[in-house]
Amino acid sequence: MDNSLFPELSYSSLTFEQLAWQQGYRAVAGIDEAGRGPLAGPVVSAAVILPAEFDLPGLTDSKKLSAAARERFFPQIYAQAIAVGIGVSRPEEIDRINILQATLRSMVRAVQRLDVSPDYLLVDGITPVPLSVAQKTLKKGDSRSLSISAASVVAKVVRDRIMTAYDRIFPGYGFASHKGYGSVRHREAIAELGPTVCHRRSFAGVREHCDDA
């Protein structure tokens, strides 16, 4: 991995992808995750390979978009992308190996589920994905690289849908509204009702309410 080949840009575009293409890479995948911080639910990662002619005005970091905008972009990303892969690490895996390692595993799974094998990865954050594929990590990559922006939207939409489904299975916790994050309402529900199987028992805010705490 040679990060020195790439300038540090501060806007979302295909510039990093184009620089990789100029180095001879052909299938450049952007990778991002959703759900590292919540008290409940999985961490979900997405890998997205975009074509050079990709055009989706307004696409950026999923955190800067409304839920309605993310839902609108979601099918458009699938329609234009060369390939999309999704990887998931569930709460029990997060508890067993820690959130960072579980996140990296979900990223590996997302890459492995691409229909087209990438030869270069653009990874949001500072930690490389443990794969023998050339790659570059990008701080705030979800607002600098369109491939990563697309991955951030896909991961966020998939995870939000999972949490909305959990809301129907485990009523009373408010998963559909806070999506598992540690809101006051959520913490009060954990204290009153106890953790569910979708809670991360190693996380503060949950572990003190577990039977074996």
Q: How far apart, in whole angstroms, are the C-alpha atoms of residue 154 and residue 147? A: 11
- Between 213 and 45, residue with greater pLDDT: 45
Which residues 6+ apart lie within 8 Å of 113 measured at CB?
47, 85, 86, 87
Q: According to the model, what pLDDT value does residue 2 have?
A: 46
pLDDT band at 213, cuts 50/70/90?
A: low
How do beta strands 135-138 and 120-124 pair?
parallel
pLDDT one-digit tens code per residue, 142-199: 999 999 999 999 999 999 999 999 999 999 999 999 999 999 999 999 999 999 999 9
- Do 181 and 55 meet the contact criterion of CB atoms below 8 Å apart? no
**What 8-state DSSP symbol labels residue 185?**
H
Q: How far apart, in whole angstroms, are the C-alpha atoms of residue 53 and residue 30? A: 16
pLDDT band at 211, cuts 50/70/90?
A: confident
Q: How far apart, in whole angstroms, are the C-alpha atoms of residue 173 and residue 121? A: 37
Quote the pTM value. Answer: 0.93
pLDDT one-digit tens code per residue, 60-114: 999 999 999 999 999 999 999 999 999 999 999 999 999 999 999 999 999 999 9
| Residue 4 reports pLDDT greater than 70 | no
- Do 106 and 47 meet the contact criterion of CB atoms below 8 Å apart? no
pLDDT one-digit tens code per residue, 13-37: 999 999 999 999 999 999 999 999 9
Sorted by where each starts, the structural domains of the chain and their CATH numbers stand as 11-168 (3.30.420.10)
Q: According to the model, what pLDDT value does residue 11 have?
A: 58
**Alpha helices of the chain — where are they, by DSSP H?**
15-22, 67-80, 91-97, 99-112, 146-169, 175-178, 184-193
- Between 60 and 3, residue with greater pLDDT: 60
Question: From residue 186, how far is each of 124, 126, 172, 200 by CA, in Å?
Answer: 28, 30, 9, 13
How do beta strands 120-124 and 83-89 pair?
unpaired
Per-residue b or e along 42-62, where b marks 16 or more CB atoms closer than 10 Å to that residue's CB: bbbbbbbbbeeebebeebbbb
